[in-house]
Structure 1
Amino acid sequence: MEYDVVVVGAGPAGLSAAIRLKQLANDKGQDINVCVLEKASEVGAHILSGAVMDPKALTELIPDWKEKGAPLNTEVKEDKFLFLTQKGARATPNWLLPECFQNHGNYVVRLGEVTQWLGEQAEALGVEIFPGFSAAEVLYDENGAVKGVATGDMGVARDGSETPNYQPGMELHARYTIFAEGSRGQLGRQLIERFKLDQGKDPQSYAIGIKEMWEVDPSQSKPGLVVHTAGWPLDADTYGGSFLYHLDNNLVVVGLVVGLDYANPWLSPYEEFQRYKTHPAIRSTFEGGKRIAYGARSLTAGGLLSLPKLCFPGGVLVGCEAGTLNASRIKGSHAAIKTGALAAEAAFDALAAERSRDELTAYPQAFEKSWLYEELNKSRNFKQWFKKGRTVATVMTGVEQWLLKGKMPWTIHRTKPDHACLQPAAECARIDYPKPDGKLTFDKLSSVFLSNTNHEENQPIHLTLKDASVPVAVNLAKYGGPEARYCPAGVYEFVKTENGEDQLQINAQNCVHCKTCDIKDPTQNIVWVTPQGGEGPVYNGM
């Protein structure tokens, strides 16, 4: 199938690119064929974010979004920032909060619903959206430029044979391809390596965000309240913090973000999140309530200093695929929308000039002149300071963001990727987590059930190992088997064989597509590849 532009991923970045392309084409009276591939069963099903949304980029893209019914309904009314100890909480006075932690004028949203709405706007403009089709391979032309993507085969059995439901994948060729897979995209990772897009950049840095949605007692509902915390349950050397956002209709979303550069292999981000909810300043919100949804997703958090080159022959990276999330603001959707629109404008001009499969250099040039670049530049050191401990990070964030307003004359660099940060298990203190009570805290399997995750069991496992001996010989022997703890869905288990030997069992059907294993595996032996299209979680507006 031939298109002018193929977009991989129907998230905020990909859909915004498609919308902007069609807007420009309609304004100029031109016909541009745009298609969007989405691996989820429906648009928005794999979207997971906090989320407090800055509407700036959306207003630029669709100025009349309110009139068109965009689901931004809960405006932020109050900000709270707490530093937690195990039993206590200390609030930061609002006048001391840096601008990056202030949310007035922003909206608490269910980003999956916003994404569904963006999909409707795209289709109304004539964009073709194909949910349930995962892009599994990048295609290159004879000159080495990207010429499109191929979707994965359907109906392949675990042993690689074709079942009666077999359907071969199809090739989609384009003059330009926009990659918007989100954090740690499978194809984006390959493109960064092939075209050396990260040359001269700091190693990318990631975090895992684990989130629940609750229906709380009406007496606890405070629509528009935004609470962030730092400190307990994480130790002073581990990057992370929590969010607790009040929506309307007695809904509250709560989550914990943990930097994947943590050192102690005994740490479990999932268990830390469950423990967080038991804090005296937090638990009262949920007592008498009901947990109704669960999910997890990685975040690309390295910021401007880790941002790869955004264009290459035949294509571009946008949104969290590139890593434009602003970690200091805990926001990425506005950046995704902005980069999608900027990439679309560069692609439209190239198409109008009869160009094809060259480098859209106008896109990174426009990005560097944009308000988004300025915003990311102000927070370029945010993540780096945490490697010096929470106290130093807190003080320097205050100095840079509150005192200097982001205009600091220095830059702090990172040199080590996340997977290289784990210390040997024997050198670290074990962490004993309490058993879940089934009311406020829960086990992984009951959580995965709430994520509506489904995979066909008789298909090739999409969590692949370069060397099957490494999990036991290296990960278990040296690091205590950290994959059993960093996975938030119970995918990885070390079990005993009949001969009493250790063996890694991969429960791929549990996978919520967070990509943490692909990022944190200390030997980079685990490679996440896309399963059959339409599979994975169904987040229902998370």
Structure 2
Amino acid sequence: MADRESMQYDVVIVGAGPAGLSAGIRLKQLADEAGRELSVCILEKGSEVGAHILSGAVVDPRALDELIPDWKERGSPLTVPVTENHHWVLSRTGKYAVPHLMMPPFMNNKGTYTLSLGNLCRWLAGQAEALGVEIFPGFAAAEILFHDDGSVKGVATGDMGVARDGTHRPDYQPGMELHGKYTFFAEGVRGHLTKELRRIFALDSESEPQVYGIGLKELWDIDPAKHQAGRVIHTQGWPLDDAWGGGFLYHQENNQVALGFVVALSYKNPHLAPFEEFQRWKQHPSIRAILEGGRRVSYGARAINEGGYQAIPKLVFPGGALIGCSAGFVNVPRIKGSHTAMKSAMLAAEAAFAAISAERAGDTLADYDTALHASWVADELKMVRNVEPMVAKFGGTLGTMLAGADMWMRYLKIGLPFTMKHHPDHSQMWRQDMAPKIAYLKPDGVISFDRLSSVFLSNTNHEEDQPIHLTLKDPDIPIRHNLPLYDEPAQRYCPAGVYEVVGEAEGDPRFVINAQNCVHCKTCDIKDPPQNINWVVPEGGGGPNYPNM
């Protein structure tokens, strides 16, 4: 567009999460070591760095050790080492603990830390800016730009001040073009630009479909007498039935616990509501006992890559690369992915710097793809590649036993001679008449809560008079197709009350999208059975504002 200004950088990075920030830091480190100038910018759609970051989190510092070896001396937020590690299998009212000796050694949390991943990103942003990386929070990358030969030229930020009807409000400002010799996409899970890149460059042509879970999280201030800094608890079993997933509860600093629940989005019952399963899980006697007398202070939700090694797409294309969760490097059984995301970014940075230094800018960064698959990231993910598909296929009990045996065999170098396949999450749902309805109890307002009060705690905000960023390819499908077949499951899989069917009792059902509630979890884009919902970026600065998640 003629009215858009442009800025030129050596490398443009989309997303200020652990991967994007690590890439920026590594690029500047390499430039400083070589005594040359290198311009790097990072775009972040959240109102500030960390505003959209949500994770458990227990962090393995392996990548950070490589990126910033003196991170302890620099005042990083990794201050609470994991001191206890528990794995509980829950029944409706009881539990039993899985002995840690039954798990392969790589599954332990020795040397890890529990903290807010958002705060880690804020600290990494300070390290990046000190090196000269330019970070622009509140600017959402809305469009991929291409050269005439089809290679990626950069991105454009979204226009600001566009009214819902498409007209320009008085505060209208056109987007800015950012051109780079290379553009890194670090959008996180199911990034809307990454989705386009996968299609345009057929990046998924040789990989299994990516599969996902939805993670819901709350932060609680609890009774200091119940707090044990560094205590980590993971659960599986109740309340899930045909679905699989589990809970976590991490004792972090300042008498706070981070707790949450993950439901694999391969679930079949259209009546299942992940948010309600999370609230039900908190009522288990062993979980409720920790929370009673405490106070909930924050809430959020985010999709999680669960496809593992076989779902990693081709990572490079002319003019750019996928890094971090845009590609999917989560180690599902370890419930960790920030260290692998950071390492992928560092490898991409090294490949891009070498190409720019050799005046090969614009080439496809094949060295990054090769290096990633030869790295400890690949070694780690290969070890656990059958865990998710085994549990998805055989269920929580048998699947966990088979997955455990497979991990032990791989650890002992006698792994099974095959890699299991995935099926897209949106293709797994049964018709509503094939699945039992689930009776969820009303929230008590003490331990369990409703969605709207939860969204309030996420500090979510969108400019109301802007185009709806949750777009429908066919506006008739929710009522004509999804409602009779699946009782319109968007009403239940959305953790923020965005989607409603109103007027059904009066015989005039209508599909309502409350886009202002959206916490940017991407579940609708993933799980909608006919893939009719397409999540696109709203105005920069919109969405949740997580202070400590």
| TM-score, L = length of structure 1 | 0.98
Structure 1, residues 342-378: CA drift from partner, whole Å, max 9, x if none? 0000000000011122210000111111111100010
Looking at structure 1, the residues matched to 472 and 249 of structure 2 have their Cα atoms a distance apart, in angstroms, of 36
Q: 1:297 to 1:100 in 2, by over 3 A?
A: farther
Q: Aligned equivalents of 2:354 and 2:405: distance in 1? A: 42
CA distance in structure 2 between the partners assigned to 1:91 and 1:444 by the alignment: 31
Question: Given the alignment of the two structures, is residue 118 of structure 1 paired with residue 117 of structure 2, yes or no?
Answer: no
Inter-CA distance 437–321: structure 2 relative to 1 (3 Å threshold): same
**Alignment partner, residue 103 of structure 2:** 97
| Match status 1:421 vs 2:428 | yes
Q: 1:288 to 1:499 in 2, by over 3 A?
A: closer
Change in 2 beyond 3 A, CA 1:377/1:415: closer
Deviation (angstroms), 1:401: 2.1
Q: Percent identity?
A: 57
C-alpha deviation, 1:403, in angstroms = 4.6
Q: Does 1:149 align with 2:133?
A: no
What is the aligned counterpart of 2:115 among 102, 109, 121? 109
Match of 2:332 in 1: 327
CA contact (8 A) 2:210 2:422 kept: no
Q: What is the CA–CA distance in structure 2 between the aligned matches of 1:393 and 1:499, rounded to whole Å? A: 45
Cα offsets for 1:63-114 (capped at 9, x unmatched)? 0000001100100001000111111101011222333431011000110000
Q: Partner of 2:369: helix, strand, or coil?
A: helix
Correspondence for 2:353: 348
Contact 1:198 1:308 in 2 (8 A): yes
**CA distance in structure 2 between the partners assigned to 1:102 and 1:199 by the alignment:** 35
The CA deviation string for residues 112-134 of structure 1, in whole angstroms up to 9 with x for no partner, is 00000000000000000000000
Judge conservation of contact 2:410–2:416 (CA < 8 Å) in 1.
no
Match of 1:247 among 252, 258, 267: 252
Q: Cα–Cα, structure 1 residues 96 and 497, in superposed 2: closer, same or farther, change >3 Å? A: closer
Q: Aligned with 2:286: secondary structure?
A: coil
* 1:311 maps onto 2:321 in alignment: no
Where does 1:302-451 land on structure 2 (aligned, <5 Å)? 302-386=307-391, 387-405=393-411, 407=413, 408-451=415-458
Report what 1:223 is aligned to: 229
- Matches for 1:152-167 after TM superposition, within 5 Å: 152-167=158-173
The separation in 2 between residues aligned to 1:493 and 1:395, in whole angstroms, is 39
Aligned residue pairs total 541
Is 1:180 aligned to residue 186 of structure 2? Answer: yes
What residue is the counterpart of 1:199 in the other structure?
A: 205
Deviation of 1:414 after TM superposition, in Å, equals: 2.3
Q: 1:100 to 1:229 in 2, by over 3 A?
A: farther
32, 54, 62: which one aligns with 1:56: 62
Q: Does structure 2 conserve the Cα–Cα contact (< 8 Å) formed by 1:268 and 1:486?
A: yes
SS in 2 for 1:3: strand
Instruction: Find out whether 1:301 has 2:299 as its counterpart.
Output: no
1-side partners of 2:86 and 2:434: how far apart? Answer: 37
- Residue 524 of structure 2 is matched in structure 1 by 517
Aligned position for 2:538: 531
For the 8 Å contact 2:60–2:113, the answer to whether it is kept is: yes
Task: Supply the distance in 2 between the matched residues of 1:497 and 1:2 (Cα, whole angstroms).
Answer: 53
SS class of match (2:120) = helix
Aligned equivalents of 2:403, 2:503: Cα separation in 1? 47
- Where 2:166 maps in the other structure, the secondary structure is coil
The match for 1:28 is: 34
| Inter-partner Cα distance in structure 2 for 1:322 and 1:349 | 22
1:439 aligns to what SS in structure 2?
Answer: coil
Match of 1:281, SS state, is: helix
Q: Give 1:327's aligned amino acid.
A: V
1:238 Cα shift? 1.6
Measured after TM superposition, the shift of residue 410 of structure 1 is: 2.4
> Does the 8 A contact of 2:409 with 2:416 survive in 1?
no
Displacement of 1:260 in angstroms is 0.5
Whole-angstrom CA distance in 1 between matches of 2:24 and 2:258 = 30
8 Å contact kept, 1:99–1:401? no
The code of the aligned residue for 1:309 comes to K
Aligned counterpart in structure 2 of residue 472 of structure 1, from 470, 479, 500: 479
Residue aligning to 2:3: none
1:291 aligns with 2:296: yes
CA contact (8 A) 1:378 1:406 kept: no
Partner residue of 1:85? 91
Structure 1 runs of 4+ aligned residues shifted over 6 Å read none
User: How far 1:280 sits from its partner (Å)?
Assistant: 1.0
Residue 184 of structure 1 and its aligned partner are, at CA, apart by 0.3
Looking at structure 2, the residues matched to 470 and 238 of structure 1 have their Cα atoms a distance apart, in angstroms, of 25
For structure 1, the residue ranges without an aligned partner over 5 or more in a row are none
Any idea what SS the aligned residue of 2:417 has? coil
SS at the partner of 1:149? strand
Q: Which whole-Å CA distance do the structure 2 matches of 1:100 and 1:474 have between them?
A: 46
Cα displacement (A) at 1:497: 7.9
Aligned-partner residue type, residue 434 of structure 2: E
More displaced 10-residue stretch of structure 1: 381-390 or 182-191: 381-390
Shift of 1:392: 2.3
Residue 415 of structure 1: how far off its partner (Å): 4.4
Separation in 1 of the partners of 2:20 and 2:448?
A: 35
CA distance in structure 1 between the partners assigned to 2:269 and 2:433 by the alignment: 10
Whether the aligned pair in 2 keeps the contact of 1:297 and 1:513 (CA below 8 Å) is: yes
Name the amino acid aligned to 1:78. E
SS in 1 for 2:285: coil
2:505 & 2:311 partners in 1: Cα distance? 46
* Whole-angstrom distance in 2 between the partners of 1:254 and 1:486: 19
Partner of 2:271: 266
The 2-side partners of 1:409 and 1:354 are apart by 45
Number of the residue aligned with 2:45 = 39
- Distance in 1, Cα, partners of 2:191 & 2:385: 22
The residue type equivalent to 2:332 in the other structure is A
| Equivalent-residue separation in structure 2 for 1:36 and 1:145 (angstroms) | 20
Distance 1:99 1:476 in 2: 47
Q: Deviations over 1:412-437 (max 9, x none)?
A: 32242000000000110000100000
Output the CA distance in 1 between the equivalents of 2:101 and 2:379.
Answer: 23
Residue identity matched to 2:104: P
Q: Is the 8 Å Cα contact of residues 96 and 402 (structure 1) preserved in structure 2?
A: no
- What does residue 138 of structure 1 align with? 144
Task: Please state how far the C-alpha of 1:249 moved relative to its aligned partner.
Answer: 1.0
| Separation of aligned partners in 1, 2:461 and 2:376 | 40
Instruction: Letter of the 2:453 partner, please give it.
Output: S
**Are 2:525 and 2:535, in contact at CA under 8 Å, matched by a contact in 1?**
yes
1:306-353 superposed Cα distances (whole Å, 9 cap, x missing partner): 110000110000111000111111001001110110000000000001
- In the alignment, the residues of structure 1 paired with residue 84 and residue 158 of structure 2 have an alpha-carbon distance, to the nearest angstrom, of 46
Decide which of 455, 460, 468 is 1:461's aligned counterpart: 468
Which moved further from structure 2: 122-131 or 386-395? 386-395
Q: Structure 2 length as normaliser, TM-score?
A: 0.97
Instruction: Give the distance between the partners of 1:217 and 1:418, measured in 2 at CA.
Output: 39
